Chain A
């Protein structure tokens, strides 16, 4: 225990330096933003299905409002939900616990990161209410939509958008340094890098990828601000600039960013699948190496987002090749996960259901990703709903399915109780069914040629056929279902937090160090200094009579 004195409410729950409190702050901020992002999706899906009718009785939606809503939906879901919940939230909660540390390496820096992030959230929310509305140039903010006021008709919205994103980057840069240092440097005695739980590996690599890719975009974002506010011409061809430059800088960060949020999700999955199949993680070293390879490859795939934006044709082939290549490490993950579950004594609790659901959904997302990554196919389907469906089949499992798996699994370490299993299974069923209902039709809409940035599809004959309208409505109904399916979760979350069944230390009989703490862990985490005696996933070991051997358990007879 590093603090024995009584702490005030403010220092305990608001300006806390305790990594678990900060993790909860990140998660709750992120989940609240998810509600905002989800409602935005509900609104513009309504517009797409019934474009000529008032949306929820509020009036006909103008195209620029539609643009602002999609822009903010994308921005919020990637930067204000996936990043804070998966990387910062779970990273903060689990990395110190899993390596056996009593807090992050730099607790005060950690608190600073959260409050910078909180500030960025406020700035983003404010940007909805300034004259001209929120940013409407797409979440990618390509010039000229972003670097001139005339192009998107939004002035302060974009300035605040850039400011908010920049603050958010600063927060996660500092947070990332903290996670990397904690994961590498605070391991307990006996725990080599090859004894680290998979989640720590994935999160550390993700933070490194983030740290190495975000820098050029920070410069690029400043150039946007200078262009639009002071009239410089970094992205203006008339003044000798180049709009392609921003696309390159954006995707040099933007594509690795996809892996920054994917890797912690895969880490969560590894832990959940392994503990609930009562089997050793299949191919631990192979998975770790594939994470490292994926981290390296993620820097050489970015231009596959730009096959139709006038890039040099000589770039298309190498980037296509690398894009297809980077699917290999993730195929390795999925195969290893399936092999882990194979012939295990599976416990189908809610966390496990979500984890299995992830594998199924992510497979669809991954396979369609290979189609998109091939330049010849991409030129046909680029910017259609096929691409939208593809990245929602990857990002929704990452951002939500993996998060849910993690929350159900680690709820004891967050709030000291177990979540209700019945409500959890209803939540899973609703989410899984309606997720597919929402996004499967979008593949077909994309093949029909539905461009992703039009507010009124019925303006085009080929999207006004009864088939297209039916698919459109199906997708929208799916969205409503998906949103409603979250109500049991919200209820379950709060009722379990306050009235849930109290959890013991290790309710899932898992093997990593975080299960050797109280539920929830007190300030300082562990009762005594920890030591690791073996690798992280010793289930059903041979020669001993127990079902599992945690890392913190001293060596047994016969081991």
Chain B
């Protein structure tokens, strides 16, 4: 998708009526739709949790330190993406691509930690059907995990494109997406791990 966006600059229609480039405006709307998708789940979860105060005991069974580690991993990766964007902005495309690959590496770490957690929980019997809390836990972290994977794929595509000499504007857009993935986790962490 970011490639589709990056090509618009050559077209005569690249003029934009507001101050924003099309790509960035499109990205904002896209991010807003992501916020609504996750927000709907979070709202539903908070409401159900307010109704079921006993879920606090279930939440105590998630591994706080693993969640904290993953928060740290995502925050750092977000920071790396910012640096990648800065590099692309300065015209250092090679560095931007390198930093994107570093971010993909952080994404992998995140997924490994998450896999360890799932394993640990499932062997203890906390499967999705154990009760509604675990249903929400797997639904929300699973959907978030899919977004992490999607972001990693997009970043690899953009990074390879930038190395081949494509317009590095995709770095900015893939970064925006990655930050939203990060923000979602910032909320999932206290909702599912802390506050038990």
Contacts and interface: CB of A to CB of B under 8 A. Distances in A.
Interface of A: 2, 101-103, 105-109, 112, 173, 176-178, 180-181, 184-187, 189, 191, 211-220, 222-223, 226, 230-234, 239-242, 245, 249, 529
A232 B135 contact: yes
B22 A177 contact: no
Contacts of A178: 26
Nearest to A99: B17
Contacts of B40: 215-220, 249
26 contacts: A2-B12, A105-B13, A105-B26, A106-B23, A106-B26, A107-B4, A108-B4, A108-B7, A181-B22, A181-B29, A185-B17, A189-B15, A212-B32, A213-B36, A215-B38, A215-B40, A218-B37, A219-B143, A232-B135, A232-B139, A234-B132, A234-B135, A239-B132, A240-B52, A240-B131, A245-B44
Nearest to B4: A108
Given A180-B29, A186-B22, A233 B132 contact: yes
Contacts of A215: 33-40
Contacts of B18: 184-185
Nearest to A245: B44
Contacts of A249: 40, 44
Contacts of B143: 219, 222
B29 A214 contact: no
B61 interface: no
Given A186-B15, A216-B41, 8 more contacts: A103-B11, A106-B8, A185-B18, A214-B36, A215-B38, A219-B44, A230-B128, A240-B132
Contacts of B36: 211-216
Contacts of A223: 135, 139
Contacts of B38: 215, 219
A296 to B, nearest CB: 15
B30 interface: yes
- Most chain A CB inside 10 Å of its own CB: which residue of B17, B43, B136: B17
B7 to A, nearest CB: 8
Nearest to B37: A215
A242 B131 CA distance: 13
Contact of A186 (B1, B16, B37, B44): B16
B4 A106 contact: yes
A233 B138 CA distance: 13
A212 B29 CA distance: 9
A423 to B, nearest CB: 38
A241 B35 CA distance: 24
B39 A187 contact: no
A114 to B, nearest CB: 14
Contacts, number: 132
Contacts of B20: 185
- Most chain B CB inside 10 Å of its own CB: which residue of A185, A222, A245: A185
B17 A105 contact: no
B11 A102 contact: yes
Nearest to B133: A240
A230 to B, nearest CB: 6
A2 B8 CA distance: 11
Given A109-B1, A219-B37, A220-B40, A181 B25 contact: yes
Nearest to A108: B4
Contacts of A181: 22, 25-26, 29
Contact of A529 (B3, B12, B35, B48): B12
A240 B129 CA distance: 12
- Most chain A CB inside 10 Å of its own CB: which residue of B11, B13, B143: B13
A525 B34 CA distance: 33
A102 B1 contact: no
Nearest to B26: A181
B29 A177 contact: yes
Contacts of B156: none
A181 B37 CA distance: 20
B109 interface: no
A102 B15 CA distance: 11
Contacts of B29: 176-177, 180-181, 211
Contact of A105 (B22, B30, B35, B136): B22
B22 A233 contact: no
Given A103-B11, A107-B4, A249-B40, A185 B25 contact: yes
B114 to A, nearest CB: 18
A219 B34 CA distance: 11
Nearest to A210: B33
Contacts of A239: 131-132
Contacts of B56: none
Contacts of B11: 2, 102-103
A102 B12 contact: yes
B194 interface: no
4 pairs of A and B residues whose beta carbons are closest in the complex: A216-B40, A215-B36, A108-B4, A215-B37
Contacts of A112: 1, 4
B69 to A, nearest CB: 26
Nearest to B21: A185
B130 to A, nearest CB: 9
B113 interface: no
A376 B139 CA distance: 39
- Most chain B CB inside 10 Å of its own CB: which residue of A180, A215, A241: A215
A151 B34 CA distance: 33
Given A106-B8, A219-B40, A101 B13 contact: yes
B5 interface: yes
A109 to B, nearest CB: 5
- Most chain B CB inside 10 Å of its own CB: which residue of A2, A177, A241: A177
A185 B25 CA distance: 8
Contact of A232 (B32, B35, B129): B129
